[in-house]
Structure 1
């Protein structure tokens, strides 16, 4: 298991990020820090493999803390998850060696791809270390490329399914945990028939389950529930 620490001052967003991370097989969130002191304490105690780090905090600068991680915890990798899009912030984060920089609002498919890339990165390094203590130019190029330019089946085009719309509906369902076709239609601005098609697609993928809700009057209503990864 890859052990993850989330450093995010908004607890609601941190919880959504936790659910996103734990939907990806092979990951577990071992802590959530919402301020600078908690972040320092948990880094020292938990020694995570990977940190999901925001930039803006009331009591610290995320980029400053990134430099601390790189200096004091060199074996810990960092993925920036932030609303910051300034060129200087992105460049500085890259110079400090972040594995990836993802802007908010967070789209699950984008994070999922990065987490899978990170798994490949760690696995390649582990495999190479077993074979030899030296590395070829080709292997160096693979590491620099982050091993992550390949598309997974989830990101390939599916007829009648738009990835952006799918991400929007999937993200909404993750936050609400359950929703009806009418609710998804209202919140996303798409028709009921389109909402139902996307929700049924999520059920087919195993990312959601469907159940029936029996009201006082009228016919049963189909309710869709988000499915997190079971530990």
Structure 2
């Protein structure tokens, strides 16, 4: 990676924009190339700078940040986006993920969370630049890292969980996998561990798979019956 990654900050609140600028400059490998306070300014900066990364707020005075995401995806395919916003609606999170946003930070911003996001992004860029071809293991690790921000928030924030997913039960399910071996677990096995039915356990397991906190595979038992097994992303 030659030189620091250029960052465009898009934030209508000048005080928060300044915080974002100071935070960015405290993280190794990044430089703030410009700041826009509305969508029109952001489009102008994008055309001139074509930065590697945009730190974007959803609420802008002249357009929705989601519209700017799709503008970037259409015209600046080499530019990545991290959302920094007070918006926590599930539909906003989902559309951001569909638009390829690589992380989603909810205001008020904690520097440790901000730094972790930029560190992950910098490492992600470096991995992409190391070789012209990747094997399955490298792709899996890269894909997990690239998507862990928004998916992690979606899986853990009670305000964003869909109906039927209880935060306490979800925590029990995730704790089961802290002790699980490389062979993974079935929904029935997880249900026994948390004191719930197989169908309940499966609902939580599939939710965690959708959030990329777990992965799933199909195996065949002694009698040839297929069963779905779940694994932590580290296995």
With normalisation by structure 1, the TM-score equals 0.61
Question: Deviation of residue 66 (structure 1)?
Answer: 0.3
Q: Which runs of 5+ in 2 are unaligned?
A: 149-235
Out of 67, 80, 83, the position equivalent to 1:80 is 83
Aligned to 2:128: 125
Distance 1:120 1:101 in 2: 17
Q: Residue 98 of structure 1 aligns to a residue in which SS?
A: coil
Q: Residue 63 of structure 2 aligns to a residue in which SS?
A: coil
Question: Deviation of residue 135 (structure 1)?
Answer: 2.2
Q: Residue 131 of structure 2 aligns to a residue in which SS?
A: helix
Q: Residue 65 of structure 1 aligns to a residue in which SS?
A: helix
Q: Which runs of 5+ in 1 are unaligned?
A: 150-231
Distance 2:144 2:118 in 1: 15
Distance 1:73 1:15 in 2: 25
Aligned to 2:74: 71
CA deviations over 1:140-174 (Å, ceiling 9, x no partner): 1112111697xxxxxxxxxxxxxxxxxxxxxxxxx
2:145 paired with 1:146: yes
Cα RMSD after superposing both structures:
1.3
Out of 51, 60, 64, the position equivalent to 1:48 is 51
Q: Is the CA contact 1:120–1:147 (under 8 Å) kept in the aligned structure 2?
A: no
Moved over 3 A (4+): none
Distance 2:21 2:93 in 1: 23
Corresponding pairs, count:
145
CA deviations over 1:36-58 (Å, ceiling 9, x no partner): 11100000001101000000111
